[in-house]
Amino acid sequence: MKSFSDLPNHRELRKLWKQEPLDRPTSDLELTPDSWVERGAEVLGWSLARFEYWLSQSGWLRAWLRLNLFVSILLTSAGVLLLPPAERVLRQLAQSSHWVAVMVHDLFGILTSLPPVVISLGILYLTFLMARWVIRRRIGRRGEGYYQ
């Protein structure tokens, strides 16, 4: 885990902002023989530049849009790259938990269908095995001794 001294400071984060003041848009008074599509594109570009200058002369809007575009591209690429594998892992986990639930359900169904005498005999046998295991461990420890 990073400490607070390893985190970027505000000066390094400010480099992402890149705010520069805008130049006032000027129209080109020299008329060239352009087609109506080229002339319309030029007029539309000049109108948008005037509108942007009117909204934000300091360049804040352009910097804000650039930063948000960068963040959205970053998040979209992370989503495109990470969501399909994560979805597959979660789907497989859900399927495996379903399979475990089916097996446990079947096991309990088998156990509840057994007569109580068989269940009692099984519990007695398991108790005998555990007692024998504990006795063998105690005998083994006595022979070694704790203070040798």
- Give one DSSP letter per residue of the chain, joined into a string: ---TTTS--HHHHHTTT---PPPPP----------HHHHHHHHHHHHHHHHHHHH-TTSHHHHHHHHHHHHHHHHHHHHHHHHHHHHHHHHHHHHHHHHHHHHHHHHHHHHHHS-HHHHHHHHHHHHHHHHHHHHHHHHHHHHH-S--
Both 80 and 95 in one domain: the answer is: yes
Average pLDDT of the residues in 104-122: 86
Both 99 and 120 in one domain: the answer is: no
96 lies in a domain? yes
- Report the chain's mean pLDDT, rounded to a whole number: 81
| Domain limits for position 148 | 114-148
pLDDT of residue 30: 75
Q: How many domains does the chain have?
A: 2
Is the per-residue pLDDT at 9 higher than 80?
Answer: no
Give pLDDT tens digits for 72-105: 999 999 999 999 999 999 899 888 988 989 999 9
Average pLDDT of the residues in 104-109: 88
pLDDT of residue 129: 96
